[in-house]
Amino acid sequence: MTDSCIIRHFEHYAELGQDDRELLDSLEKTPKDFSKGQLIWQQGMESDHFYTVRSGWACSFRNMEDGSRQVQDLYVPGDIVGLREFAFRRRVSNLLTVTNTTLCPFPKNRLTDVFSTSRLLCNLFFLIAARDQAILVERLINLGRRTAREKVAHFLLEMAHRLDKACMDVHDCNHLPLTQVLLADALGMSTVHANRTLNELKQESLTALGPDGITLLDRDGLKDVAGFDPEYLDADVEGLLKNIGAPASSQPA
């Protein structure tokens, strides 16, 4: 059997039985390649699929009336994109590739079949949804109650940490392929201010800025700046598996 994208994703958490593997494999469609800067879906379109990210980065965002933009989340290899839209007939935001990207589509309305068929997968999907919420909450706190310095440092650390866990084909988890425009739109600040803040951190040798993105040079230093605690990124998979009586993965999350 091929190791489809979503199977790899779930085996990251737990050991799947043959049934589960076949189920997922039958539902995942062939991967699709997208080039950098491509708009994958738009607000208002019918939300019939979600995607797993096989490689590359993407972001979801909303265009505001005044022409500005709010980036809601970034997606790295291993992430599932569009689970949010389970509750809605139409897409509530736009999705854009940040780099060249390969995505694996999965039909949304088949999710209910998965829930019925596999106790394990059902619970894992729910766990993922809960972790997604935790990420959103942390971003909320970032926007609401942190200074620009803290925002930037915190966000960079979060993405690096998420890359750490995703690390499938990713070489250097300290390098983030983000433009400053994107960073600013994710953190609700102006590009100019993002730039100044980033250069401030660069002066302190905490980050490096290149034409191909941002590099974290000193995670501990950044952690001091941001007060970063990665707990919200570490879902308690073991506890869940124990509760539902499933075997843990040999390759812990």
Partner DNA sequence: CGATGGATTGACAATATTCAAAGACAGTGG
Partner DNA sequence: CCACTGTCTTTGAATATTGTCAATCCATCG
- Residue choice 187, 194, 198, 206 for contact with its own copies (CB under 8 A): 187
Main-chain phi, psi angles of 53, to 5 degrees = -90, 115
In this complex, which beta carbon is closest to its own copies, that of residue 89 or of residue 171? 89
The answer to whether 196 contacts DNA (rule: CB under 7 A) is yes
- Residue choice 5, 6, 124, 148 for contact with DNA (CB under 7 A): 148
The answer to whether 249 contacts its own copies (rule: CB under 8 A) is no
220 binds, among its own copies, DNA, none (CB under 5 to 8 A by kind): none
The answer to whether 92 contacts its own copies (rule: CB under 8 A) is yes
The answer to whether 188 contacts DNA (rule: CB under 7 A) is yes
65 binds, among its own copies, DNA, none (CB under 5 to 8 A by kind): its own copies
Length of the chain: 253
Parallel, antiparallel or unpaired: strands 213-216 and 80-81: unpaired
The answer to whether 145 contacts its own copies (rule: CB under 8 A) is yes
In this complex, which beta carbon is closest to its own copies, that of residue 122 or of residue 170? 122
The answer to whether 188 contacts its own copies (rule: CB under 8 A) is yes
Least separation, in Å, of the C-beta of 69 and its own copies?
A: 8
Residue ranges in contact with DNA by CB under 7 A: 37, 68, 147-148, 179-181, 188-193, 195-196, 198-199, 209, 211
